Amino acid sequence: MLSYFARVGVALDPFCAYVLSMTKPPTALIEGYLAFKQGRFVRERARYHELAELGQTPEVMVIACCDSRAAPETIFNALPGEIFVLRNVANIVPPYQPDGEHHSTSAALEFAVQSIKVKHIVVLGHGRCGGIKAALDPNSGPLSPGDFIGTWMDLLAPAAEAIGDNTWLTSAERQTALERIAIRHSIDNLRTFPCVSILENKNRLSLHGMWFDIASGELWTMDSDTGDFAVFEGLALDEELIED
């Protein structure tokens, strides 16, 4: 639909047109929503209706980075209601700290474990992570006086300093190393939460580490005993599915 100014024949200078465009929701979102409402929502209407009536019961929680290139629902091809997703900068889980302050990651974790009663928690890291890159960059300064990101990434400071000082590694190797250390560190911190450690000891909750390579689409899974990562070999699984 034409804007009021276009309909009455008033030509706006570029700045006014820019300001007016900024007051509207992003076109890409509106078009995307329309495509969803007329396509996927129609096909999955019964599922959405059931989820609305019965509530959500996902068995898997995924803790992932905010990065727009590594969305868990896309990577795992998940349907609505299938995975409970928490995203923050660099997929970090802070240690258990019941101090009365505002802890959004801990609140979401508490809800997933104690209310939804998920059976698996996956910490999903990814390649080329901007948060990890900033943690390794000694010249990266605060973005604001509050420096929320810097304070958040301090959770990885000891590892970042140790890796950053290692001149035997290339820049890319340091980056990948800290991305995977961050996953192991988050899993260690998950176990500082009593609700997690108690259920894990009762074998009612499992913790997993994964790393996604944006460029290749590879998924690397962490060995729970050694902490090593190996690329997921999905070909055998694919062949089984094809035979079925």
Helix (H, G, I), strand (E, B) or coil at 173: helix
Q: Which is nearer to Zn ion, 187 or 205 (CB)?
A: 187
C-alpha–C-alpha distance, residues 231 and 42, integer Å: 36
User: Shortest approach of Zn ion to residue 36 CB, angstroms?
Assistant: 25
User: Shortest approach of Zn ion to residue 217 CB, angstroms?
Assistant: 16
Does residue 67 touch Zn ion according to CB under 5 A?
A: yes
HEC states along 27-75? HHHHHHHHHHHHCHHHHCHHHHHHHHHHCCCCCEEEEEECCCCCCHHHH
Q: Identify the H or E element spanning 83.
A: strand 83-88
Contact 199, 120 (CB under 8 A): no
Q: Which stretch binds Zn ion (CB under 5 A): 58-66, 92-100, 183-191, 206-214?
A: 58-66
Q: Which stretch binds Zn ion (CB under 5 A): 77-85, 125-133, 204-212, 217-225?
A: 125-133
Q: Which is nearer to Zn ion, 58 or 131 (CB)?
A: 131
Q: Which stretch binds Zn ion (CB under 5 A): 51-59, 126-134, 137-145, 170-178?
A: 126-134
Beta bridge mates, 15: none
**What is 176-227 written as a DSSP string?**
HHHHHHHHHHHHHHHTTSHHHHHHHHTTS-EEEEEEE-TTT--EEEE-TTT-
Does residue 65 touch Zn ion according to CB under 5 A?
A: yes
User: Shortest approach of Zn ion to residue 126 CB, angstroms?
Assistant: 6
Does residue 129 touch Zn ion according to CB under 5 A?
A: yes
User: Shortest approach of Zn ion to residue 103 CB, angstroms?
Assistant: 20
The residues binding Zn ion (CB under 5 A) are: 65, 67, 129, 131
